Structure formats: C-alpha cells, structure tokens
Structure 1
Amino acid sequence: MEIGQYKPNHHGNGLRIGIVQSRFNEPVCNGLVEICLEELQGLGVIGEDILLVTVPGALEIPLALQKLAETGQFDALIALGAVIRGETYHFELVSNESSSCISRIALDFGIPIANAVLTTENDKQALVRISEKGRNAARVAVEMGNLSSALDYLNQDDQERSEAAVEEHRV
C-alpha cells in the first residue's frame, strides 16, 4: 500500500516569523534570541521577514504572541524566555501559565508557535541549554510554518487550488 507523506521542510525562504522575547533573565534570553536569529537566517529567512518584540517577562509573552497572531501576517511565531526556579512556588505558576497560554494561542489562531521558554532549576542549566533551544526554536518554526501552509493548501477546494497554482506560476 502506498501512502502520501509530507516530508519536513526546513527552507525558510519567504516565511514571515514573529519572535517574542522575554527580557527577564536577560543574559539567557539575549543568548536565545541571538542563536535563534542566526539559525533562522541559516535556514533562509531574511531579516526583513522577521519581527522581534520584547516583553518584561514570561507571563507577558502570550499577550504579545496573541497580538502578532491577530495580524495574520506571520507564518509562525517563536516564544523565547527563561523561567529559573527560585525559593517560592512562583516558578511553577509562571512556567505553567506561560506554557498553557502559548499553546492555547497556537490552537486558537491556527498558527505554529515554537515554545522556547526554558524552565530550569538554576542559571547554570539555563546557560547550557541556550544554544540547543535557540536553534531548535528556529527549526521548529520554519518546519511547522511550512507544514501549516501545506495543510492549508489541502483545505482549499479544487477551484481555489487551480487559481493558486496559476498565480504562483505567473510571471
């Protein structure tokens, strides 16, 4: 039996990516954004197709993501931040609420969001994870932006697909 399969596409050419970065735990978050931007550009996303927005902390990330999603101008979004455990229960509240709201926005707006908000026990763990998490966020955003577009294409009826194909190949 032969089945159809969509293969992962990590080509970022033409994708518009919005990034929301928390400024709290600044050295970690600045590192995340630097590596993420580097990876996005390596995947072919050009600078003018990237919008970076900063917010005070992880709890503010979802509102900024929602506002970006509402514009309809982005193929994917990225959340960057760091929640590092302290001596109080606040860590659990911030990490759980931030993550939950990020997922809800992705589902409510039908837009991929790469959640790269680190949740670690200490600064050392956060610093060790910057490189991997920053790169992964970029790759996830590009792959899921492409997948989302491909699946949206499947939802079009035959007439819309024909018109889209004609437009795409028009010189």
Structure 2
Amino acid sequence: MSINYIEGNTKPLSAKVGIVVSRWNSSITERMLNGAIKALNGNGISDEDIVVARCPGSFELPLAVKSLLESRDLDGVIALGVVIRGGTPHFEYVCDAVTTGITNLNLNTGKPIAFGVLTTDDTKQALERVGDKGNKGAEAALAVLEMISLQQELNK
C-alpha cells in the first residue's frame, strides 16, 4: 500500500483571482501589487482574470475581501497591506484584527485568501520585503495559486 499525496502547484488549471490592496503606505503596497500581478501573469493568469480593489487601510482588508468575493466569481483573493509599528498599542490591535478577519474568511468562504500583510517595526523593513531580494506581494500570489490548484486537485 502506498501513500497518496495530493499537492497543488502555482499553475492551476484556470483561475480568476482578486487582489485587495490597502492605500495606506501606498509606496509599499503598490510595489506589492505590482509583484503580485507579475507573479500571476508569469504563472498563466491573464489580466482579464485579475480584479483589483483598493481599500483605505489594512484594518479594512477583511471586509473588502469579503465584499469582493460576494460580488465576483473568484477562485481566490490576495490581501495586501502594511502595518508599521508605532509608539502605541494600535499596531497590535490592527494586526490581530486583520489576521483574525482573513483567517475567518478562509474558513467561512472556503476560498483561499493569501495573507500578504507586512507587519514591520519600521518603513525600512517594509521596503526590504518588496525590494530586489524578494517581493511579499509575489509570494502571496504564488500561495493563492497553489491553494487554488490544491482545491482543484481535491475536488477531482
């Protein structure tokens, strides 16, 4: 008897993907968005199968993702935002709310939602995560594609 492994890959049979991107810290989130689109295109997802929605900040990502999923026929969504630590507890509240919101949406909708939210101590750290050494928006795009592919495999 052999083990039956089921895996996804970054090239699903077909996929319609949403991206919700926060306007707050847009100098960083726009780089994440560009990285995500480039990764999607590089894995066979055409521009016609991508929809981008913008929301004010990271705190608003879960509701914007939910609304996008309810209004469009999508296979998955990438949530992109940046939360930079300040001198108040606000950072922890926002990070916890966004993480919990995205987690609940994954489980309640049954659709993959990639968590592309940077949580950093300062702007320099955030910029390092969207620079030449890697782009967290692209990584989130690859994660959502792999999850879409995995779901397609599981539903065969």
> For this structure pair, what is the TM-score category when the shorter chain's length is used for normalisation?
over 0.9
Matched, 1:74 2:74: yes
> Which residue number corresponds to residue 117 of structure 1?
117
SS in 2 for 1:30: helix
- So what's the TM-score if we normalise by structure 2? 0.93
User: For the structure 1 residues 71 and 149, does the alpha-carbon distance in structure 2 shift closer, same or farther, using more than 3 Å as the test?
Assistant: farther
Matched, 1:88 2:95: no
Larger radius of gyration: 1
Distance 1:45 1:72 in 2: 16
Distance 1:133 1:126 in 2: 10
Structure 2 letter corresponding to 1:67 = S
> Which residue number corresponds to residue 46 of structure 2?
46
Give the alignment's Cα RMSD to 1 decimal: 1.3
> Which residue number corresponds to residue 127 of structure 2?
127
Determine if contact 1:13/1:46 at 8 Å carries over to the other structure.
no
> Which residue number corresponds to residue 152 of structure 1?
155
SS in 1 for 2:4: coil
1:111 is displaced (CA, Å) by 0.5
- So what's the TM-score if we normalise by structure 1? 0.85
SS in 2 for 1:119: strand
Determine if contact 1:70/1:109 at 8 Å carries over to the other structure.
no
1:13 is displaced (CA, Å) by 5.4
> Which residue number corresponds to residue 17 of structure 2?
17
Higher mean displacement: 66-75 or 90-99: 66-75
Runs of 4+ deviating beyond 4 Å: none
Distance 2:33 2:24 in 1: 13
> Which residue number corresponds to residue 64 of structure 1?
64
Matched, 1:142 2:155: no
1:12 is displaced (CA, Å) by 4.3
Determine if contact 1:62/1:98 at 8 Å carries over to the other structure.
yes
- Greater relative contact order structure (CA < 8 Å, 6+ sep): 2
Distance 2:147 2:120 in 1: 25
Determine if contact 1:14/1:49 at 8 Å carries over to the other structure.
no
Bigger share in helix: 1
Structure 2 letter corresponding to 1:20 = V
Distance 2:144 2:104 in 1: 16
How many corresponding residue pairs? 153
SS in 1 for 2:144: helix
SS in 2 for 1:147: helix
Please, which runs of 5 or more residues in structure 1 have no aligned partner? Answer: 154-171
Higher mean displacement: 55-64 or 9-18: 9-18
Determine if contact 1:13/1:44 at 8 Å carries over to the other structure.
no
Determine if contact 1:62/1:102 at 8 Å carries over to the other structure.
yes
Distance 1:36 1:14 in 2: 17
